[in-house]
Amino acid sequence: MKRLVLVLLVAVMAVPMLQSCKKGANDPGISLRSRKARLVAEWTLSSGSVVYTSGTSETLTYTGATVSSSLGGSQSYTETVEIIKDGTYKRTVINDGATRVETGQWYFMEGNKDNDIKSKEVVSFFETQIVYTPAGGVATTATYTGVTPDYTWRLDELKNKEIIVLIDETSNSGTASSTKGTMTYTAK
């Protein structure tokens, strides 16, 4: 009986501690896999909505293999991101027949209390090479060695089979612009 009471007491104390270790707001309460182990996979964009504002505003809605614009029109669009355990990644976007294959490095960013970001809540991506092939055209390759991330993912939810990424970016280089939205990726 003492043993059962001790086990229950330890369990009651452990659950709140496990909840406080969550990084993304909607992460699972308990996971037996590390954050890195859950992230390392091949992901396919399954849905999303992003609002681009730069003078005018445009909403892009991603569903399956299509992207639609609030300004009118839609086209074929697929995106896959392979995140590899060694810290490299490969992102392939096929947009209306044009293909962009991007490779590079990724890592988890440290936390930042001033910006209310927990450690391992944001993933930074550094492009090292882009191969772009226009529809029916010839591929061109560009190589990069940047010191700042090309883009980041703020992980709202990271499960074994699904990632929800929050996008909230602003730019003041030239014309002020912003990008805000949510993208959902599903593991292959």
pLDDT of residue 32: 58
pLDDT in tens, the chain (188 residues): 666 554 444 444 444 434 334 444 555 455 557 889 999 999 999 999 999 999 899 999 999 899 999 999 999 999 999 999 999 999 999 999 999 999 999 999 887 777 777 878 999 999 999 999 999 999 999 998 877 888 899 999 999 899 999 998 888 777 889 999 999 999 98
Verdict on whether the full-model pTM lies above 0.85: no
pLDDT of residue 1: 61
pLDDT of residue 20: 39
pLDDT of residue 22: 44
Q: What is the 3-state secondary structure (H, E, C) of the chain?
A: CHHHHHHHHHHHHHHHHHHHCCCCCCCCCCCCCCHHHHHCEEEEEEEEEEEEEECEEEEEEEECCEEEECCCCEEEEEEEEEECCCCEEEEEEEECCEEEEEEEEEEECCCEHHHCECCCCEEEEEEEEEEEECCCCCCEEEECCCCCCCEEEEEEEECCCEEEEEEEEEECCCCCEEEEEEEEEEEC
pLDDT of residue 25: 53
